[in-house]
Amino acid sequence: MVFSIALRFLRDRAVAEELAQDVFLKLYRELPKLESPEHVKFWLRKVISHRSMDYSRGARVRREVGLDDVAEPASHWKSGDVLLQDALRKLVSSLPDDARMMIVLRYQEEMEPQEIANTLGIPVGTVKSRLRRSLVLLRGKVQRLMGEPAR
């Protein structure tokens, strides 16, 4: 789960592994303070989400490798349209950090808005409005790319 969130957000396997290791090392230090398995899961999601966004902000300054140049691991989607999946991944990766994290947590990690709110430490209403804006941004990008209205 930790690696998956980082990988889907950053689209860089090496960085995702490094961040996941850092988070698990931090978990080892914080484990006595965590009260239950649910608390551990919540804590892991929160920390990796914030670490991924922090890394992404710093990566703009570093300009290492573009997201389009990083190979995407095999998808678990049932759809056979590889080109559509690739286009959608590129569109999601072009979103601003906050919008991209919302999409990753909601649709790729299948978290409910309340879980996302708890993980990111923001109100549920903010999560819902950011999700709505993120989807509007994606629809606009699809419309420009395809030249037709998105459904």
Residue 90, Cα to own-chain centre: how many angstroms? 13
Average pLDDT over residues 133-139: 89
pLDDT 10s digits, 14-65: 999 999 999 999 999 988 888 898 999 999 999 999 999 889 887 655 555 5
- Note the pLDDT of residue 131: 93
Amino acid identity of residue 136, one-letter, is V
CB distance 20 to 3 below 8 Å: yes
Average pLDDT over residues 126-133: 93
- Note the pLDDT of residue 97: 86
Instruction: Quote the tokens at residue 64.
Output: 């290492």
Confidence of residue 84 (pLDDT cuts 50, 70, 90): confident
**Cβ atoms within 10 Å of 109's Cβ, excluding its own:** 19
CA distance 38 to 35: 8
Q: 């303070």: which residue's tokens?
A: 33
- What domains can you pick out in the chain, each with its CATH number? 2-146 (1.10.10.10)
- Note the pLDDT of residue 151: 55
Q: Is the pLDDT of residue 142 over 70?
A: yes
